[in-house]
């Protein structure tokens, strides 16, 4: 397949069912690995009548050439139907997304079979669709319906759209509408073009693995509450309580390693941390050996080798540690 081109395709139908006549515009075959799209024009009816009996056709690629394949990405589309009387619709709702230089095809958000309970008064309906990548900036959307069904009139509050790109910050574009899409309401239009009122940029979270080493000294364990702040050149985590050890049921025991996961925005290069205990409990004294912070780039080691205690070394309960 990858060393040749498509010479022709044969396509047809079996003429079964009510309304089997079919006007076929064209066929497109996308091959992402070759970065090409083959286009087969048709523009013919495939039907069976007294004068026409053609249920199958052979199609040849347009000028024996190929188009450039348009890469597809997943979009998360959230539709907010207004919470007013009779706002819901049972028509088929479609959408088209526009970037600065290209747009997606017009697509139906869900089939009639899957539409039960969707687009109802006050509902929030979420769809994940693989569509053409229009680029990072969404300039506008076109949304409408086909005016079919018993109650097609629809009052749309707003639409939220984001591109789901792994390991990238997510921008959620918000398109306000707050209008009817109805033949007998507002201006009678059943399609709206909406521009983004704002976008919400979600910061990419990272996971930091924190290993806390309790020292090997008599009475070095603690049952006090322990708090940690990690600092990098792009910010800090804020103070986090180390509550659930992933390695031990009873944390901060003598000569023990307790692992914690801290989720945060990207801190950049980690260089400092602050660790403290609140001196709470009967066995609050704690000898901390060291702390290791791991990200995808490296392991950062912070040596302490001191008591955090009331009766040891001048009642120190907090340490600022720098990477060694």
Q: Which of 12-16, 54-58, 93-97, 265-269 is least confident? A: 54-58
The DSSP output letter for 9 is: E
Q: For a pLDDT cut of 90, what percent of the chain falls above it?
A: 41
The Cα–Cα gap between 130 and 103 comes to: 13
Position 1 scores a pLDDT of 46
Is the whole model's pTM more than 0.85, yes or no?
no
The Cα–Cα gap between 21 and 51 comes to: 14
Mean pLDDT to the nearest integer, 108-115: 82
pLDDT band at residue 254 using 50, 70 and 90 as cut-offs: very high
Mean pLDDT to the nearest integer, 94-108: 89
The label of the residue with tokens 């053409």 reads 132
Position 228 scores a pLDDT of 94
Segment 197-229, tens digit of pLDDT: 877 666 557 889 999 999 999 888 998 899 999
Position 35 scores a pLDDT of 65
Q: How far is CA 270 from the centre of its chain?
A: 27
Q: Which domains does the chain have, with CATH numbers?
A: 9-68 (2.60.60.20), 72-202 (2.60.60.20), 206-322 (2.60.60.20)
The DSSP output letter for 269 is: S
| Whether the predicted pLDDT of 169 surpasses 90 | no
Helix (H, G, I), strand (E, B) or coil at 37: strand
| Whether the predicted pLDDT of 267 surpasses 50 | yes
The Cβ of residue 102 has, within 10 Å, a number of other Cβ atoms equal to: 12
Position 257 scores a pLDDT of 96
Are the C-beta atoms of 78 and 95 separated by less than 8 Å? Answer: no
pLDDT band at residue 70 using 50, 70 and 90 as cut-offs: low
């Amino acid at each position: 397949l990858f060393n040749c081109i498509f010479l022709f395709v044969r396509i047809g139908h079996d003429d079964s069912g009510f309304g089997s006549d079919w006007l076929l515009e064209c066929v497109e075959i996308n091959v992402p690995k070759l970065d090409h799209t083959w286009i087969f024009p048709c523009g013919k009816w495939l039907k069976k009548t007294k004068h026409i009996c053609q249920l199958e056709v052979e199609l040849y690629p347009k000028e024996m050439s190929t188009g450039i394949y348009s890469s597809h990405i997943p979009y998360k589309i959230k539709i907010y139907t207004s919470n007013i009387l009779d706002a819901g619709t049972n028509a088929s709702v479609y959408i088209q997304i526009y970037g600065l230089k290209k747009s997606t095809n017009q697509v139906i958000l869900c089939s009639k079979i899957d539409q039960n309970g969707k687009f109802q008064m006050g509902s929030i309906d979420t769809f994940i669709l693989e569509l053409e990548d229009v680029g990072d900036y969404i300039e506008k959307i076109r949304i409408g319906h086909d005016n079919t069904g018993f109650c097609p009139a629809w009052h749309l509050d707003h639409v939220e759209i984001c591109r789901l790109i792994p390991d990238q910050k997510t921008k959620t574009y918000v398109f306000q509408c707050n209008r009817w899409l109805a033949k007998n309401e507002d201006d009678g239009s059943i399609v709206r073009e909406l521009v983004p009122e704002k976008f919400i940029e979600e910061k990419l979270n990272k996971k930091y693995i924190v290993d806390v080493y309790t020292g090997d000294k008599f009475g070095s364990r603690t049952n006090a509450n322990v708090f940690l702040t990690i600092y990098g050149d792009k910010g800090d985590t804020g103070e986090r309580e180390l509550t659930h050890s992933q390695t031990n049921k009873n944390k901060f025991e003598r000569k023990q390693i307790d692992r914690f996961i801290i989720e945060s925005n990207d801190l950049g290069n980690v260089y400092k941390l602050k660790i403290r205990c609140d001196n709470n409990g009967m066995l609050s004294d704690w000898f901390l050996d060291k702390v290791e912070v791991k990200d995808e780039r490296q392991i950062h080691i912070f040596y302490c080798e001191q008591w955090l205690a009331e009766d040891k070394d001048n009642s120190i309960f907090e340490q600022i540690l720098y990477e060694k």
